[in-house]
Structure 1
């Protein structure tokens, strides 16, 4: 069927390989793909073409083996792709991950290539701040094959719990303790040996129209009649921050216009306010600098932390991660890219 297409998850199931391998094939150009919304799609015709090429390579390799008298590889797997998938799955199992623990369909998984000749252990870094891209680049230079997954804070911690990510970022505020991240980490990763370390600190607050015509100055202003907001998706740190503030201020989400209108990034929230589609939205200061026609009302300093499981497989990863975070050059670059406070970068908040 010429119009039929598959998700990466369906491709992985059809070829009996991991999604990590599917993403790797797409990244290398071996399997043509395109994005529809947040999903990567592969046309059936392109999948069949890839399978034909794999079979041709398999047949050519088998013939060469017979001619050379090499009997050790006379019997091979169903396709070269399946063998590659098993190899990469084994590598991920060695890293404490399952065969299907690549990022989910919505993650936008992207690879950062390691230094040539270095051991290429795959490491998935999950989070949405640009600082995570910089961290991925530095870890790739240390010999890791850094893969980026873009998800909200709560989903990132769940990925870590499920073995789908190696390094995750989080900025989840707890209203009862007025602290960031640690209450959620302790609840979601109960009993797990882990390290929570700071990446950066940044201001969070409200995006408002330029000049702040409505005079919004605090969380309680969100309860004004007829005020329209735009919200973040479930699991995002900004969404959790809003929900906690509404709870503490006795404001019902159902009574706030636009609460159910959700977008997936700070930039989208800022753009909605700039276009006049909403009067306010929660986000970080950096997006307000990039989107014209809005102002930013800072309301809280949020801690953006990293969490890694302390396992035998992660010993070198932890060593390299802490080494990178401790480098003055990295901190300087991180501060320049994000515009955030990096004075506490590398500070360990929790070690279990």
Structure 2
């Protein structure tokens, strides 16, 4: 239950309104959503979200239709630019949501053999789908297979069939449960999801975290529909942790770093996951792909990740599989 005087982050607002975080920033920029800064971070009062929703309802349908057409035109234009830049060789598309990809993209743009990286903020499953269909050149994955206990390799074999691929390790991250401070429900393992007194907040379909949950549910013989809150989705680790902190759920699943950014949440470590890049083997001799390997293996890149914290960098830059 969110209190009337709650102060929310843009990520939490995006979760409430079921929109992308970038859309929240655009609403703030256009003056449609009131916000203020604490240091360098935006914060939004819950009452201002309600005012925005009510204001939107009062607008004439013609205005809404006009804005929809403008947004559609903009989306088509952006898609054409993305397609044009990728086809012309002036950029490549990297699928994934982790902030480490922002750092990789920055290094890639200034590397002598690098290019501009275009980001597609989709989950692991959809990223492999885009790689297979040729709409992206690089996918990132953290997909756990419950039968083999392996990460990524079984999914690449199934989802990119007949296409020789290379899997390059980025880092390991600790995954676990977000629970309220003090863990009042005493949640410690996947088996606790068999209890009927626990409500969860889930991740979106196609995300590695959602697939991890579904695989473990399958192994313990529980259907998702039997769990309170299973159908409620959020689009980031931070949003899941924030939902638990606000009392909106007893349990969320995500990485340890997000829990450190949210008050009144404890983190119960459950499983170390492998976060890796997947590329087509035919591309590996091209300059930008060689640049990516050099960046991942460089001391500068590893030092920046080490400074952020939360990443195990022991195998960073290592080619772990050729499929």
Shorter-chain TM range is: 0.7 to 0.9
Match for 1:19 among 71, 76, 79? 79
Partner of residue 258 from structure 2, selected from 287, 307, 313? 287
Contact 1:94–1:313 at 8 Å: present in 2 too? no
For the residue of structure 2 that corresponds to 1:215, the secondary structure is coil
TM-score normalized with structure 1 length:
0.69
The aligned residue for residue 145 of structure 1 is: 116
4+ runs of 1 displaced by more than 3 Å?
A: 7-13
Q: 1:8 touches 1:19 (CA, 8 Å); kept in 2? A: no
Residues 1:257 and 2:224 aligned together: no
Query: Which residue, 85, 89, 92 being the options, matches 2:86?
Result: 92
Secondary structure of the 1:283 match is strand
Partner of 2:191: 220
Higher relative contact order (CA 8 A, sep 6+): 2
Query: Contact 1:136–1:146 at 8 Å: present in 2 too?
Result: yes
- Alignment partner for residue 95 of structure 2, among 111, 126, 134? 126
Query: Residue 297 of structure 2 is aligned with which of 322, 326, 330?
Result: 326
Deviation at 1:308, TM superposition (A): 1.2
Greater mean deviation of Cα atoms: 281-290 or 164-173? 164-173
SS of the residue corresponding to residue 187 of structure 1 reads helix
**Which SS does the other structure have where 1:179 is aligned?**
coil
Aligned to 1:156: 127
| C-alpha RMSD over aligned residues | 1.9
CA apart distance, 1:165 = 1.5
CA shift in 2, pair 1:247/1:313, >3 Å: closer
Moved more, 232-241 or 4-13: 4-13
CA distance in 2, matches of 1:292, 1:184: 35
List gaps (5 residues or longer) in structure 1.
Answer: 24-87, 96-120
Give the structure 1 partner of residue 155 of structure 2: 184
Query: 1:63 matched to which residue of 2?
Result: none
1:351, distance to aligned residue in structure 2 (A): 1.7
- Alpha-carbon deviations, 1:85-109, whole Å to 9, x = none? xxx72x53354xxxxxxxxxxxxxx
Counterpart CA distance in 2 for 1:250 and 1:310 is 38
Corresponding residue number in structure 2 for 1:309: 280
